[in-house]
Amino acid sequence: MKIVISGTSGLIGRALVPALEAAGHEVLRLVRREPAGADEAFWDPASGSLDPRVLDSVDAIVNLSGATIDRRWTASRKREILDSRVDTTSLLARTAATLDARPAVFVCAGGAGAYGDRGDEILTEESAPGTGFLADVCRAWEAAADPAREAGIRVLTFRHGIVLSREGGALPRLLTPFKLGVGGRVGSGRQWWAWVDMGDLVGAYLFALGGELDGVANLTSPNPVTNRQLTKALGKALGRPTILPLPSFAARLAFGQMGEELLLGGQRALPARLLDAGFDFRYPELDAALASELAP
């Protein structure tokens, strides 16, 4: 397959592109600078600039673009988080829809934050959308792909959990206080944190590109954990104590709304559609996933 990908410099893109190439696919990277080779093409989502010829006759599009969400959400940062997702998805979807030789599939990154904070409720793709900033972002993000869907392109949005990777993202940030001996739960520790190992995430993208899934699919381990369980698992993996919690008020004071939704809230999301489609998770259990990611 010839696959056009945005967001290749991010954590997921850096893992997915080599896997696609190793599987024999041809990858064309979308970049916001002068292309450095034949495997790159320029685009500028902010101005709506994308040459339609870039997408003409390709087999698939994968959109991984989006500003990181793990910093305090100022008004300007919230706008950046929203625009970086909606503008990119919309531009790709609208451009692909105009082509005579359209891509067969458009796979877009998304987030389990679409469900909002629902306590102990088990969440599948059949669950209703939630409330909150992240839920609003996810709703607009997913809707931005509608032009491609209406043009007959198979559209799939993966709702990611917390991605566990030694190369970046949440895991290195979580590890730092534990290595210093000051790790602990956040708030009550009862909030559910859906997670997925990076290897399984990459495998799911490969699976989806060659499959028939459309709509939305939770890309999370079949075994979500509470923050307290994750804390204990990290402490065990590192041989460090887990006795110094971050109180709820401190999380709210330090991080504001981001702390409320991202740290003190969570989702007990299950990958029902992936499992039903026959996807096999290599690391469905947290202890095994951490052992793999933390191995020397």
The predicted pLDDT at position 187 comes to 94
pLDDT digits (tens, 9 = 90+) for 171-214: 998 888 888 887 899 999 999 999 999 999 999 999 999 999 99
In a domain, 183, yes or no: no
The confidence band for 225, taking pLDDT boundaries of 50, 70 and 90, is: very high
With a cut of 90, say whether residue 296 has pLDDT above it: no
What's the rounded Cα separation, in Å, for the pair 143 and 129? 13
What are 83-96's pLDDT values in tens digits?
999 999 999 999 99
Neighbours of 211 (CB within 10 A): 16
- List, for residues 9-57, the tens digit of each pLDDT value: 999 999 999 999 999 999 999 999 999 999 999 999 999 999 999 999 9
Average pLDDT, the chain: 95
- Decide: residue 139, CB within 10 A, 0-12 exposed, 13-18 middle, 19+ buried: middle
CATH number, domain of 217, equals 3.40.50.720
State how far the Cα of 296 lies from the Cα of 292, in Å rounded to an integer. 9
- Domain assignment present for 240: no
User: Band of the pLDDT at 216, cuts 50, 70, 90?
Assistant: very high
- Render pLDDT for 68-77 as a digit per residue (tens, 0 to 9): 998 899 999 9
Instruction: Determine how many CB atoms are found less than 10 A away from the CB of residue 119.
Output: 11
Tokens 């003409």 belong to which residue?
A: 56
Average pLDDT on 249-274 reads 94
CA-to-CA distance for 47 and 103, rounded, in angstroms?
A: 23
For 209, the domain range is 2-169+194-221+269-282
Q: How large is the average pLDDT for residues 89-109?
A: 97
Give pLDDT, residue 173.
87
Best CA proximity match to 275, nearest among 198, 215, 221: 221
Could you give the CA distance from residue 119 to residue 267 in angstroms, rounded to a whole number?
Answer: 7
Distance of CA 19 to the CA centre of its chain: 17
Say if 250 falls within a structural domain: no
* Number of compact structural domains in the chain: 1
In a domain, 64, yes or no: yes
Separation CA 234–CA 291 (nearest Å): 10
Over residues 28-37, the pLDDT tens digits come to 999 999 999 9
Query: Is 36 inside any structural domain?
Result: yes
Asked if residue 38 is part of any domain, the answer here is: yes
Residue 69 within a domain = yes
Is 147 within the bounds of a domain? yes
